[in-house]
Each structure stands twice: as structure tokens, then as C-alpha cells.
């Protein structure tokens, strides 16, 4: 690790067209001079974007994994502030159904190894739903989910409080996350409507849980003990719907041997996460990656 930890990064960007007329941006991060392993796809949650995984100073989990040999593909969801302009609906459902399959096709054209899909918060929910329903399962190596769930908490996304959330998004044409102090990205109204739909109906009907039961790939789920946005109870329940036989649930807090009780963003973007969570993820990926190049 010592000889690659500061390897220079090669960063490229592509705009991918989806079948519904929409598009998304993919930022590829590789480390120069580092032996290639498998690709990883990073999907951010709501109210944030690609900088969650790679800052303008080139710090982030994407850079760390690239220097561990993983070609990192950061997906910038349609409809965010610096996303490619397009006229198609900018919902979470559209991202799952159209954009993520386009991302998988883009990666499959460049790599012969299956990719790991990594998501934070609703990004993890989107990864899981895409893997369960819309992606080629033979090209999925596994899932890494940070703080991902829809069944516990999230009061403003559930009935009846979601009537206020939806009404504000419809009135403004977007949800003002920046003004509300929720994150750096305002959300398209379609994305907010989809999120409230998943939370409200997913808790009361079985269709989301039944969809998730199709997942059989290896899963690492990491939850922060101090997370009040997506509590550990919900994250544990979320992966409990999967049919995977290789599942690890990690509750990151002082009681389980970590230096701090991790919160919602801090489980990925904090100094302690760099020292404790990032190596955990990379080691888990290493153990499930064929180190030999495909014939």
C-alpha cells in the first residue's frame, strides 16, 4: 500500500445517453501505475452529488479505491446542478431504470470483470433496486451499502408529513435542500416525489421488499451508530430482505471497536472514515476479487 497511496490519478468524464432520452455524467478515476483489479460504481444519495466520492482536491473514497487498484466510476445523477442538461424526467426511478443500465453497459465495454456497486443513503437503495431488477446480474460482483434503508425514520418522506415535502417541491419546481441545510444539491421535484413514493408505499406494501429479495450477490452494509437519518435498525432490516448468502453488516461505533460513533455522512466523508471505514471496504473488495486478470 505504501508505494501506491500517493499514486497520481487519471480522471476522465463521459456523458452517457439513456434509452428514455435522459443522460448522466460518469467520472472515471484510475491510479497511474497501479495494477488493475475490478471496477467499482459509486452512487451518491439525495442532496449531494459526485463530490461526495471525490472532492475538488482529489480526496475521497473513489481516490482511495483507485489507488488500491479499482477503476472507480462515479455517477452524477440527472437533474443536479452540474449534471448534463436533458429534458427527460429527472426522478430516482428514471435513474435506476435508465441511467444505471447505461452505466453498466459503459463499464462492460471497457472491463471484462464484474463491477461492485457502492451507494450511500438513497444511492444504496438505488443500487440495490437496479441490481435486483434492471442490471445484468452476471456483471455484478457485489454491493457495498452505506447508511441505506427506507423503513425507519425519514418522517418528512412518509405520510402524512410528506404532503408538505411534496407540496413544496411542486410549488418551487425543486426541493430546496441547500436552503434547508440538508446538503449541497437541490433536488429535482421528480426525485423528491419518487423518494416519498418509495418510503410511503414501500413500508405499507411488499413490492420493494419482494424486489430486494432477488439480490443474491455478496453484500457489505455499513451503518453509523450515531446516524439519525438512516438508523442502524433500518439498515439492518434493508439487507435482511436480500437473498444473499454472503452478507456482512457492520455497525460502526465505539461499542463495536471504532474510534467514534459515525453519523450519516461521516461514515464515508470524515477523517476517521478514511482510517477505519475505507480500508474495511477495500479489504472486503479484495477478498471477493479475482486477482488474476481474465484470460
Confidence of residue 3 (pLDDT cuts 50, 70, 90): low
Helix, strand, coil abundance in the chain, percent, nearest 5: 35, 20, 45
Nearest to 238 by CA among 87, 123, 67: 123
Domain assignment present for residue 2? The answer is no
Q: Residue 172 sits in a domain of what CATH number?
A: 3.40.50.1820
In this prediction, residue 14 carries a pLDDT of 96
Look up the domain containing 246 and give its range. Answer: 9-287
Domain assignment present for residue 1? The answer is no
Domain assignment present for residue 178? The answer is yes
Confidence of residue 290 (pLDDT cuts 50, 70, 90): low
In the numeric block, the cell 470483470 is attached to 113
Domain assignment present for residue 292? The answer is no
Domain assignment present for residue 267? The answer is yes
Residue 188 has pLDDT above 80, yes or no: yes
Per-residue pLDDT tens digits for 80-133 = 998 999 889 999 999 999 999 999 999 999 999 999 999 999 999 999 999 999
Domain assignment present for residue 18? The answer is yes
**For the CA atoms of the chain, what is the radius of gyration?**
18
Tell me the whole-structure pTM to 2 decimals. Answer: 0.95
| Biggest distance spanned by C-alpha atoms of the chain | 56
Domain assignment present for residue 230? The answer is yes
Number of domains in the chain: 1
In the numeric block, the cell 420493494 is attached to 208
In the numeric block, the cell 440495490 is attached to 128
Amino acid at each position: 500500500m505504501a508505494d501506491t497511496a500517493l499514486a497520481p490519478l487519471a480522471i476522465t468524464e463521459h456523458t452517457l445517453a439513456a434509452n428514455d432520452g435522459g443522460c448522466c455524467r460518469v467520472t472515471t478515476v484510475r491510479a497511474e501505475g497501479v495494477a488493475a483489479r475490478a471496477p467499482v460504481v459509486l452512487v451518491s444519495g439525495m442532496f449531494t452529488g459526485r463530490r461526495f466520492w471525490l472532492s475538488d482536491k482529489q480526496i475521497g473514497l473513489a481516490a482511495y479505491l483507485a489507488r488500491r487498484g479499482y477503476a472507480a466510476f462515479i455517477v452524477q445523477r440527472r437533474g443536479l446542478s452540474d449534471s448534463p442538461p436533458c429534458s427527460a424526467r429527472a426522478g430516482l426511478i428514471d435513474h435506476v431504470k435508465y441511467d444505471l443500465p447505461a452505466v453498466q453497459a459503459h463499464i462492460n465495454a471497457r472491463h471484462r470483470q464484474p463491477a461492485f456497486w457502492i451507494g450511500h443513503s438513497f444511492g444504496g437503495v438505488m443500487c440495490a433496486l437496479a441490481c435486483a431488477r434492471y442490471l445484468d446480474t452476471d456483471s455484478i460482483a457485489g454491493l457495498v451499502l452505506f447508511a441505506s434503508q427506507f423503513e425507519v425514520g425519514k418522517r418528512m418522506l412518509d405520510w402524512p408529513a410528506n404532503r408538505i415535502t411534496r407540496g413544496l417541491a411542486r410549488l418551487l419546481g425543486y426541493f430546496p435542500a441547500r436552503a434547508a441545510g440538508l446538503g449541497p444539491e437541490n433536488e429535482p421535484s421528480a426525485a423528491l416525489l419518487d423518494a416519498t413514493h418509495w418510503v410511503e408505499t414501500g413500508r405499507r406494501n411488499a413490492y420493494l421488499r419482494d424486489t430486494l429479495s432477488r439480490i443474491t450477490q455478496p453484500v457489505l452494509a455499513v451503518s453509523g451508530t450515531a446516524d439519525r437519518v438512516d438508523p442502524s435498525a433500518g439498515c439492518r432490516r434493508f439487507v435482511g430482505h436480500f437473498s444473499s448468502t454472503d452478507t456482512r453488516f457492520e455497525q460502526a461505533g465505539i461499542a463495536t471497536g471504532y474510534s467514534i460513533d459515525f453519523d450519516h455522512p461521516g461514515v464515508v466523508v470524515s477523517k476517521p472514515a478514511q482510517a477505519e471505514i475505507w480500508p474495511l471496504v477495500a479489504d472486503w473488495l479484495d477478498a471477493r476479487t479475482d486477482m488474476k486478470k481474465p484470460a
